Amino acid sequence: MKRLAAALLFSAPFSIFVTPAIAQAPMPPAPPAIAADKQIPMDQALAAAQAALDTCLKLPRPSAATVEIVDLNGLPKVLLSADGARTNSFDYMKMKAHTVLKKGMGSAAYGKTAKLTPGQPLEGDPLLTQYGGGLPIMRNGVMVGAISVSGPTGQIDDDACAAAGAAKFHF
């Protein structure tokens, strides 16, 4: 939980806090170092992201999706955005990755348990989402990151693409 908060602070779009220039701004705690056995190798991350993107593009209704692989700190290892991807895909993709890391399960699985109140954020966290498309990356039964997909054709397609990408990991 603490780690997530740190990651969110660090990756915030206005992360001017990192700048030494703004010395008076409070420095957020640095995200914790990720243990060697919980790091995601670059080549596998790229292969997975590419597989997810290609799966989406080859669907019966081709989906120009945005795909992200994040580490346990929520920082992007690989981000790929297909030609013609919509700008709102970025937000949903980020939210799905956040949901996976925070809840330790796929965003669709979380969506089944989530208590939705129209107009209210889930559990008071506006970055949680009930939409499928985010899946945990598991290594020896332990989560080491998340793969998140968001495209214009909806969460069922997104989930299928994410699963195709996740299948590329071999730890």
Partner 1 sequence: MNRFVCIALLSAALVTPAMAQRGAPPAPMGVAGHAPPVAIAADKEIPFDQALDAARTAMDTCLKLPRKSTAVVMVVDLNGNVRVQLTPDGTGLPFYDYARRKAYTVLKKGMSSGDFAKLPDVAATPRGQAFQGDPQLINFPGASPIMKNGVMIGALSVSGPTGGGEDEKCTAAGMAKFHL
Smallest distance, Å, CB 136 to partner 1? 19
**How long, in residues, is the chain?**
171
21 is an interface residue for partner 1 by CB under 8 A: yes
Among 1, 2, 26, 118, binds partner 1 (CB under 8 A): 118
Query: In the complex, what is the shortest distance from the CB of residue 116 to partner 1, in angstroms, rounded to a whole number?
Result: 11
Amino acid identity, position 129: T
Q: How many residues bind partner 1 (CB under 8 A)?
A: 38
Least distance (Å) between residue 39 CB and partner 1:
7
Q: How far apart are CA 154 and CA 134, in angstroms?
A: 12
Q: Which stretch binds partner 1 (CB under 8 A): 22-30, 106-114, 134-142, 157-165?
A: 22-30
Residue 98 binds partner 1, judged by CB under 8 A: no
And the tokens for 15? 């992360």
124 is an interface residue for partner 1 by CB under 8 A: no
Q: Are 161 and 149 in contact (CB under 8 A)?
A: yes
Q: State the Cα–Cα distance between residues 40 and 117, nearest whole angstrom.
A: 36
- What angle, rounded to 10 degrees, do the helices at 2-11 and 88-103 form? 160
User: Looking at 41, 104, 167, 171, which residue binds partner 1 (CB under 8 A)?
Assistant: 41
How far are the Cα atoms of 22, 131, 163 from residue 15, in angstroms, in the given order?
11, 27, 32
Which value, in Å, is the radius of gyration of the alpha carbons in the chain? 16
Residues making contact with partner 1 (CB under 8 A): 10-11, 13-16, 18-23, 30-31, 39, 41-42, 46, 75-84, 87-88, 90-92, 94-95, 118-119, 126
